[in-house]
Amino acid sequence: MKEPGVFVSLEGIDGCGKSSLKEGLLAYLGQYQVISTREPGGTSISEKIRALLLDINNEAMLPRTEAMLYGAARCQLVDEIIRPALVDGKIVLADRYMDSTLAYQGYGRGLDLDFLQALNALCTGGVKPDLTLLLDISPEEGLRRRGKNIPDRLEKEGIDFQQKVRVGYLHMARQEPQRIKVLDAGRNLDEVLAAAINYIEPLLMLKQNVSRETMRSSL
């Protein structure tokens, strides 16, 4: 049976502006019970896996190891946080989810997409977003927006890698147009936020039973 809550995920290459959009959406959704997550991370075990994944000293990490670690972190997050929240009728706003694995480890690293689909199915137990907002931006603009922050292990891969990830995301959006909506993230935040809300609003109407209390928890 489909859970009563609403599940929205945010996706895009590094520097696409997910964090700013998330802030805006959390303010917009203030009257609802919202659980906000980020990947990799969001539970104590997943945060430990995150540290392994993003550590620039782990140069020897194989793409398959990487994929399974992202999967393991997600598995824990779904079971501990996401599924219970959806069962409770809450809104889950996820900063990255299963599509990141297909885009980065599949299109970016070149791992077999069927293997990654199977891994995603295993790790999510079939919990899938109702809506995925793909913030599309050029890798050059993404790099510029990231500014002078010290790059993590994935960000160190450079423009060509980000370009492959972007192409992958856009391909996935064409394959699942009902769920994955592409937003031009090169615009200013207000415009991107308005476009995002346009997609979220009908979903909230559709699922009238989402809890409307003001208590909000954020991870």
What are the residues binding ligand TYD (CB under 6 A)?
14, 18, 38-40, 54, 70, 96, 100-101, 104-105, 152, 154-155
Which H or E run includes 163?
A: helix 159-175
Using the minimum distance from each CB to ligand TYD, give the nearer residue, 5 or 40.
40
Separation of alpha carbons 160 and 108, rounded Å:
9
Using the minimum distance from each CB to ligand TYD, give the nearer residue, 175 or 209.
175
Using the minimum distance from each CB to ligand TYD, give the nearer residue, 20 or 211.
20
* Smallest separation (angstroms) from ligand TYD to the CB of 209: 29
Separation of alpha carbons 143 and 71, rounded Å:
26
Neighbours of 125 (CB within 10 A): 12
* Residue 73 · residue 53 · CB < 8 Å: yes
Separation of alpha carbons 114 and 133, rounded Å:
23
Using the minimum distance from each CB to ligand TYD, give the nearer residue, 33 or 162.
162
SS3 label, residue 207: coil
Separation of alpha carbons 33 and 133, rounded Å:
20
SS3 label, residue 149: coil
DSSP letter (8 states) at residue 150: P
* Smallest separation (angstroms) from ligand TYD to the CB of 37: 10
* Smallest separation (angstroms) from ligand TYD to the CB of 31: 27
Using the minimum distance from each CB to ligand TYD, give the nearer residue, 123 or 210.
123
- Position closest to ligand TYD via CB: 104
* Smallest separation (angstroms) from ligand TYD to the CB of 53: 6
Using the minimum distance from each CB to ligand TYD, give the nearer residue, 32 or 104.
104
* Smallest separation (angstroms) from ligand TYD to the CB of 175: 18
Secondary structure, 3-state, 22-87: HHHHHHHCCCCCEEEEECCCCCHHHHHHHHHHHCCCCCCCCHHHHHHHHHHHHHHHHHHHHHHHHH
* Smallest separation (angstroms) from ligand TYD to the CB of 104: 3
